[in-house]
Amino acid sequence: MSVGILAHLLGTLPYKELAAKVAAQDFPYVQLALAKAFSDVDSRLGKLSPGLAQEVGGAFAEQGVRIAVLGCYASLVDLDDDVFRHNVDRFKEHLRSARHFGAPIVATEVGGVTDPERRGQHVERLNRALEELVEEAERWGVTIGLEAAQGHMIDTTETLAEAIERFPSSCVGVVMDPCNLMNPARFENQDHTMREAFRLLGPRIVSAHVKDLRRAADGTLTETAAGSGELNYPLFFELLEQYKPYGFATMEAVSEPQMADAARFVREGRLAARSR
């Protein structure tokens, strides 16, 4: 069972050096956030091209590493017109370039409400952004991976399911991160939270993130490497293999010294889930 890594967790490096470093850690694929990962690639809006994408994608392919997902994490609900347009246009550019990197998915969290009294305007921004992005994704045959996150407009199973329902295109999918669905109350009943997430979203999952959560004495949650916290990973692996066997599982919240143990935990856990 393979497990991938967020490329920038291995450092911000020249792209050929980073590709070699990922391969040396035995990761067969990455989620790649260009601005975070590379010290020698200008990925600002307007700079991406098929040639640049194929050069980077080829460097990873030569090391036996696939680019499974492009990360383009920027607010799609910003109320500043210029910032909103920049973020949407940059995401569109990632969608146009994704196939040249060899990536079938461009992923994002959608951003949070900065002014609760103007929440309706934030909703309008999100809907406008997704309308444009879905059209672009369908044009280029690339999948948008929407990810829930605490503090964002899409922060629960229900809000993510509502977005999918509003935009039922086959080019819209889910990045499943069970930890991102949890607040202290939901974590108390985490098995129900995960089962509901897979019941409502399982068929639309295109990628998964793996990290863990620890509870402090006051109930607050802290992210940590997979296998070193309190998430019910046997259940998560069981559900992931039930709905999306062999699906991408990408590690987050892990330091370099933790990577080997965390990757072994994920591989062994997924293998055990498949053998049941």
Judged by DSSP in three states, 126 sits in helix
Please give the share of the chain, as a percent, with pLDDT higher than 90. Answer: 98
Tell me the per-residue pLDDT of 67-100, one tens digit each, with 9 for 90 and over. Answer: 999 999 999 999 999 999 999 999 999 999 999 9
The CA distance from 266 to 163, in Å, is 29
Residues contacting residue 85 through CB under 8 Å, at least 6 positions apart:
none
Question: Can you say whether the dihedral through the CA atoms of 194, 183, 30, 1 is positive or negative?
Answer: negative
pLDDT at 213: 98
Sequential DSSP letters for 90-104: HHHHHHHHHHHHT-S
Residue 222 CB: number of other CB atoms within 10 A? 11
Residue 30: CA atoms inside 13 Å, Cβ hemisphere, count?
A: 33
Sequential DSSP letters for 133-156: HHHHHHHHT-EEEE---TTSSS-S
Residues contacting residue 82 through CB under 8 Å, at least 6 positions apart:
none
Judged by DSSP in three states, 80 sits in coil
pLDDT at 273: 94
The CA distance from 116 to 119, in Å, is 5
pLDDT along the chain (276 residues), means of 10: 92 98 98 98 97 98 98 97 98 98 98 94 97 98 98 97 96 98 97 98 98 96 98 98 96 98 97 91
Question: Could you give the maximum distance between any two Cα atoms of the chain, in Å?
Answer: 52
pLDDT at 2: 83
Mean pLDDT for the chain overall:
97
The CA distance from 109 to 111, in Å, is 6
pLDDT at 1: 52
Q: Which amino acid is at 51?
A: G
Which domains does the chain show, CATH number per domain? 4-275 (3.20.20.150)
Please give the share of the chain, as a percent, with pLDDT higher than 70. Answer: 100
Cβ burial 192-205 (10 Å sphere, 16+ → b, else e) = ebbebbbebbbebb
DSSP bridge pairs for 214: 222
Nearest Cα residue to 172 out of 202, 208, 133: 133
Tell me the per-residue pLDDT of 129-170, one tens digit each, with 9 for 90 and over. Answer: 999 999 999 999 999 999 999 999 999 999 999 999 999 999
pLDDT at 276: 83
